[in-house]
Chains A and B, each alone.
Chain A
Amino acid sequence: MAFIHPSSLLPSSNPSYSFREGIKSSAPGIQEHRFSPYADNGGSTLGIAGKDFTIIAGDTRQSSGYSINTRYAPKVFRIGGDDDSGTGAKIILAVTGFAADGNALKERLDSMVKMYKYQHGKDISVKACAQRLATILYSKRFFPYYTQAILGGIDEEGVGALYSYDYVGSYEREQCRAVGAAASLIMPFLDNQVNLKNQYVPGSGVGHDLKAKAAEPLEQSHVEQLVRDAFSGAVERHIEVGDGLQMLIATKDGIREIYTPLKRD
């Protein structure tokens, strides 16, 4: 129902010569509700690449505003599996932001990877899949998928690979990345613990003489614990993060999943 503003019915001192110049239905002061095709469903994801593994994790809460839609809605997906359970998949995709767009993006990438296998008779490489995801995102440059994606797997050299994206497809390969509602809480933690930012060799000097600790590849069990710590920290400080933690670990043997409960408050 369009609301008619009383002032539009009164003789006006303003000249009104054409339809284009006429008073629009939404007069100032009246805010007409307009459909927005986007929503923010909260949640956070993170990815860390190791020397022969990649871990991508996300919480399982899905929310709308202050309401929790559900305590279990996965944000981390297997891409290119043989069937809907994802067996045989080698690539992991995680999406935060608008859940419906995230699902659409996942399914588009998944069917694209399946077609690649059908047409070429082999699995797509993580590098090629990462490039393809970028073109998918960019193809909707002017009506974007409202999702921040991270993609991971094992590259052609057997090394853990991780790619992170913005909404419209710019992407880069990284060692680690936190994305989503609690990204600003988790990312500094990862900078410090994975890339050893602001960590110095004790007794190596004073002031500018301090030697920075060099980042080295981390053990898988150590990374798993880092992920758990990152999320239990985020849960305390962010209302949109919680309920459960889903971790997908890609190695040369395929993808393994670990689920651990998080605080539900």
Chain B
Amino acid sequence: MNHFPHGWGRPRDDIYGPYDHTYLSHSQSSGPNQHTQQPAVTGTSVLAAKFKDGVVIAADNLASYGSLARFTDVKRLHKFGEHAILGIGGDVSDMQYISRILNELDIDENYGSTGNTLNAKNLHTYLSKVMYARRTKINPLWNAILVAGLDGVGRPFLSSVDLLGTTFSSPTLATGYGSYLAQPLLRKLAETEDEVANVTREKAEKAVREALKVLFYRDARSLDRFSIAVVTKQGIELMEDEQLEGQSWAFADRIKGYGTQVN
């Protein structure tokens, strides 16, 4: 019998087992307050490549819940203004939050007489501050983001920011699994900023679509339906319901784990 006063009136451990503290939300339990410590519903890689007149960016339409393909028609590319678009991987609810604050920013900007003059570079700077501020509060937005478009003088712009607020820019970029699988393939397009001048839109778009296919073969959290956008001086061309073409699964026959072989 539990004779300690703080045990009175509680279910007896010897009958019901000890109280399962995991049912308590973190903030009520002892210890420090905790914010998001891991993502829930997630999007996988985002890919992008610069070419001489603009940028191509793509992401598939899947939102996964762990290993479950939970939502298969989620658009992860978001337009901002006339010449900027961002692709978001990672937590989908955080993605929707980011999309919302950017929409608010766009509305605020349009109150001015000259409209939204924020270009892709400005947008990336702003997003990097948002992401860094949230990580500093130990309450990160669990995303990896690529911002594509044109900078202040009309040159192609491509840069990334992640949940820590780390930023970097490169002729081609890929987040998540894509940074291992797709980025090495995309780098064949243009190794340096100077080589971007030799890349045509067709070449860039083809390379990105091929890289998406490779990801579909090997990334279990990916999908064959995807969105792809091309930003040039003419504006943003966004295609949101594309299908991977020319797949070849011949290699799968010989690999254990691809479905047909049980042991």
When chains A and B are docked, how far (Å) is the Cα of A23 from the Cα of B13? Answer: 13
Q: Are A17 and B2 in touch, CB under 8 angstroms?
A: yes
* Residue B149 CB within 8 A of the other chain: no
A263 to chain B, nearest CB (A): 13
**Chain B residues with CB under 8 A of A12:** 13, 17-18
Which residue numbers of A lie inside 8 Å of B, CB to CB? 1-5, 8-12, 14-20, 22-25, 32-35, 37-39, 41, 62, 64, 67, 69-73, 98-100, 103-104, 143, 264
Q: Are A22 and B17 in touch, CB under 8 angstroms?
A: no
Across the A-B interface, the 9 shortest Cβ-Cβ residue pairs: A100-B165, A16-B18, A70-B170, A70-B168, A11-B17, A69-B168, A100-B166, A25-B22, A22-B21
* Residue B136 CB within 8 A of the other chain: yes
In the complex, which of the residues B17, B29, B167, B180 contacts A103, with contact meaning CB atoms closer than 8 Å?
Answer: B167
Which residue numbers of B lie inside 8 Å of A, CB to CB? 2, 4, 6-7, 13-22, 24, 29-31, 35-38, 40, 66, 128, 132, 135-136, 138, 140, 160, 164-170, 179-180, 183, 191-193
**Chain A residues with CB under 8 A of B36:** 35
**Chain A residues with CB under 8 A of B40:** 1
Q: Are A72 and B170 in touch, CB under 8 angstroms?
A: yes
Q: Are B169 and A11 in touch, CB under 8 angstroms?
A: no
Inter-chain contact count A-B, CB under 8 Å? 108
In the complex, which of the residues A11, A17, A32, A264 contacts B37, with contact meaning CB atoms closer than 8 Å?
Answer: A32
16 A-B pairs with CB atoms under 8 Å apart are A11-B15, A12-B17, A24-B21, A25-B22, A25-B29, A37-B136, A37-B138, A39-B164, A39-B166, A67-B180, A67-B183, A70-B169, A73-B168, A98-B164, A100-B167, A143-B136
When A11-B17, A22-B18, A37-B135 are in contact, do A99 and B2 touch as well, CB less than 8 Å? Answer: no
**Chain A residues with CB under 8 A of B30:** 19-20
Q: Are B37 and A9 in touch, CB under 8 angstroms?
A: no
B11 to chain A, nearest CB (A): 11
A168 to chain B, nearest CB (A): 16
In the complex, which of the residues A4, A18, A62, A73 contacts B6, with contact meaning CB atoms closer than 8 Å?
Answer: A18
Q: Are B37 and A33 in touch, CB under 8 angstroms?
A: yes
**Chain A residues with CB under 8 A of B191:** 71, 264
Known A33-B37, A99-B166; 14 more pairs at CB < 8 Å: A1-B66, A8-B20, A12-B17, A16-B19, A17-B6, A19-B29, A25-B29, A35-B36, A37-B138, A71-B170, A73-B169, A100-B128, A100-B132, A104-B165
Closest A residue, CB atoms, query B131: A100
